[in-house]
Homo-oligomer: A and B are copies of this chain.
Amino acid sequence: MDLVDQLNHIFYPRAIAVVGASDNPKKVGFMCVKSLLEAGFGGKIYPVNPDLSELFGLKGYPSVTDIPGEVDLAIIAIPAQLTIPVVEDCVAKGVKGTIMLTSGFKELGTQIGLELQDRIRDVADKGEMKIVGPNCLGVVNPQVNLNATFGVELGLINPGSVAVAAQSGAVSQYIADALTSNNVGISKFISMGNRCNLYFDEMLEYLAQDEQTRVIVMYIEGLERPRQFMSVAKQVARRKPILVYKAGRNEKLNQASLSHTGALAGNYELYKAVFTQTGIIAINGMTELVDVTKALAFQPPSSGNRVAVLSGGAGPGIIMADKCHELGLRLAEFSPATLLQLRQLISPLNPVDNPVDLAWVSGNFDACREVLKVVIEDDNVDMLATAGAYIYRQLGLMRAIVDISGCYRKPLAFACLYTLVGEDDAEIAKLEENSIPVYPLPDRVVTGLAGLFKYGKILNTTD
């Protein structure tokens, strides 16, 4: 059975056993069943616990082997020292995927923990069964209403095109939370944990072929198979952008990473150099992670770094131009024809050489539409950074962007006032329905565009 088949049992299960299911609301085994039910999972759920005849109206079973039908996925939430016979049961039952939430393995840094992890790995390997974890939060696939985690709230993740695979369960939650609040949907969510027989390189391979996934985001503290990872990443990066936040960036931190999920962290500068060679986009902060991910999920990569900056009011344009400068993007130099046309479209009082101050014109749909067309059709322009301002004025610009969206291949992103807008949320939603990423601050637009240029460069590298 190949890797994709194995992992499809985990991401698209028809029947799930929850080993350690419990009627005690404080137990992980209770939360898991609750997560599955609340997210509206449509397949079969089998609580497994010798002391439990029923949970939420579902019949309980003493062991996995007692379950009458087939089981695709087993979620295991029992103490570490009890896991071996359960993994053996799963193999005997023909289960091909498990999620081992339990901690107390390699991450302890003890001989006992290490040996226990090796033993469950050996049993699983023999049975051609993949284990997510141990010591993890689980897996979510919003496309099929699967919340196979002990975080009930993860059922609120919206389906989308971004896959998130994170070593730390807590960080995976923060990423999901931040993407959700920035209206970025998720295709697959995986808390990787200790990675006993399912490694980052394999997850990359799976996500590369996953049709729901357009962008791959990873939070990595350390890799146990760095060569395989870079080798797979080099291939995948040609097909989908891979963003990696590599954590544990100094000596002291490397120790923390080591004791966390049990992998050697290594020198960050070394990692960064290898990432660049491999075609991985290295991410330095969590807000940058959100901004670049959003741009890549909504817009095509950029073949060049010449940015046209258009804003309602000069200030946001200057901030965006500053950020271009900081991130190695260039302000496009408009052609004489473009300048001439802009001069006719925009008030003579406002600058039209890049950045363009739309000023009062930003309230005028027709004028904004013309300005956008003139600028986007200029051969000296690769990308458009746009920002609104003054609620009643920015509407014209917003609607004009919606109108031209989809007509051009050049990336465009937009910033606008968010919290104070009240009823304008519908306008923001319309932009995003039309694949325009909207940001609450102008410099974040440029962070997004810089990511599109980085990925464009990766695609254009010929080796």
Chain A residues with a Cβ under 8 A of chain B: 31, 103-104, 107-108, 137, 150-154, 156-157, 166-174, 176-178, 180-181, 219, 221, 247-250, 252-253, 256-257, 259-261, 284-287, 311-319, 321-323, 325-326, 331, 349, 351, 355, 357, 387, 389-392, 415, 417-422, 440-444
Contacts and interface: CB of A to CB of B under 8 A. Distances in A.
A20 to B, nearest CB: 16
10 contacts: A108-B349, A151-B391, A170-B315, A170-B389, A181-B419, A181-B440, A247-B322, A253-B325, A256-B314, A260-B357
A104 B360 CA distance: 13
Most buried by B among A174, A317, A326, A418: A174
Chain A's interface: helix, strand, loop or mixed, by majority?
helix
A31 B177 contact: no
A252 B355 CA distance: 9
A168 B318 CA distance: 10
Contacts of A103: 349
Contacts of A323: 285
Nearest to A110: B349
B285 A443 contact: yes
Nearest to A325: B250
Nearest to A356: B256
B253 A177 contact: no
The count of identical subunits is 2
Nearest to A333: B252
A389 B178 CA distance: 13
Given A260-B318, A286-B443, 8 more contacts: A137-B390, A151-B390, A156-B419, A170-B312, A174-B415, A177-B417, A253-B325, A259-B351
A389 B247 CA distance: 17
A37 to B, nearest CB: 16
A441 B318 contact: no
A387 B257 CA distance: 17
A355 B170 contact: no
User: Of A107, A177, A180, which is in contact with the most chain B CB atoms at under 10 Å from its CB?
Assistant: A177
A43 B294 CA distance: 46
Nearest to A153: B420
A154 B420 contact: yes
A365 to B, nearest CB: 14
Nearest to A251: B325
A442 B248 contact: no
A392 B149 CA distance: 13
Cβ-closest 3 pairs across A and B = A168-B315, A170-B313, A170-B389
A7 to B, nearest CB: 23
Q: Which of A168, A248, A323 has the most CB of B within 10 A?
A: A168
A167 B419 contact: no
Nearest to A179: B419
B442 A315 contact: no
A314 B311 CA distance: 42
